């Protein structure tokens, strides 16, 4: 059996969502709703939203809003990947520049215990263990979680982007620019 095929009725998956263009907070909310709209995807947990500087990619990008959701799914990893990409496309995701600005980015961080170096979908996500914008929100909803043999909370504080994380208060949700009501 391929590591990217389904092994049982439901697998637990961790998905990371990010947005740094447009109405970022609204995009994350509707993105979560779109991801769990299919009966094959059940929502288990939703992290708080954090604001971060862009990591990698072009200089001068707006700040990102990031969050993590935990789902149970009967989709195979590749079916889940196609579903995540369809949700990104629904939110007008454009892939012109690697790590460039985007309306919605959805990454599969883990899928059960699957380990795969497949060129289409590498699991666990190869950069997740170094990204506080993934690890920290994840640790808020699953504090005991482990990635690559280490607690995600310990990985988060060691990540280079950890000092740039900030709680998101719901204001300034258009391209990182404060909107009405922001202080």
Question: What's the CA gap between 93 and 156, in Å, rounded?
Answer: 27
> Using 50, 70 and 90 to split pLDDT, how confident is the model at 183?
very low
For the record, the structure tokens of 30 come out as 């509707």
Pick the more confident residue, 61 or 27: 27
- Enclosing H/E stretch for 166: strand 166-167
* 175 flagged as catalytic: no
Q: Please identify which of the residues 24, 63, 93, 173 carries the catalytic annotation.
A: 93
* 24 flagged as catalytic: no
| pLDDT tens digits, 52-93 | 988 776 777 888 899 999 999 999 999 999 999 999 989 876
Predicted confidence at residue 182, as pLDDT, reads 41
* 12 flagged as catalytic: no
Hey, is 42 helix, strand or coil?
strand
pTM across the whole model: 0.87
| pLDDT tens digits, 114-163 | 999 998 999 999 999 999 999 999 999 999 999 999 999 999 999 999 99
Q: Please identify which of the residues 102, 131, 161, 173 carries the catalytic annotation.
A: 102
Predicted confidence at residue 180, as pLDDT, reads 43
* 161 flagged as catalytic: no
Q: Is the pLDDT of residue 179 over 50?
A: no
């Amino acid at each position: 059996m391929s590591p990217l095929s389904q092994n049982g009725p439901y697998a637990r998956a961790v998905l990371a969502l990010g947005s740094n263009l447009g109405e970022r907070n609204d995009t994350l909310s509707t993105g979560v709703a779109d991801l769990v709209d299919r009966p094959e995807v059940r929502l288990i947990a939703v992290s708080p939203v954090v604001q971060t500087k862009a990591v990698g990619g072009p200089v001068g990008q707006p700040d990102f809003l990031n969050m993590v959701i935990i789902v149970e799914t009967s989709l195979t990893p590749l079916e889940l990947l196609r579903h995540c990409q369809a949700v990104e496309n629904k939110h007008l995701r454009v892939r012109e520049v690697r790590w460039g600005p985007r309306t919605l980015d959805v990454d599969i961080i883990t899928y059960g215990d699957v380990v795969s170096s497949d060129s289409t979908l590498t699991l666990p996500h190869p950069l997740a263990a170094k990204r506080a914008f993934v690890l920290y929100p994840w640790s808020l909803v699953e504090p005991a979680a482990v990635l690559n043999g280490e607690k995600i909370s310990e990985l988060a504080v060691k990540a280079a982007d950890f000092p740039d994380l900030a709680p998101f208060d719901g204001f300034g949700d258009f391209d990182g620019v404060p909107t009405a009501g922001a202080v």
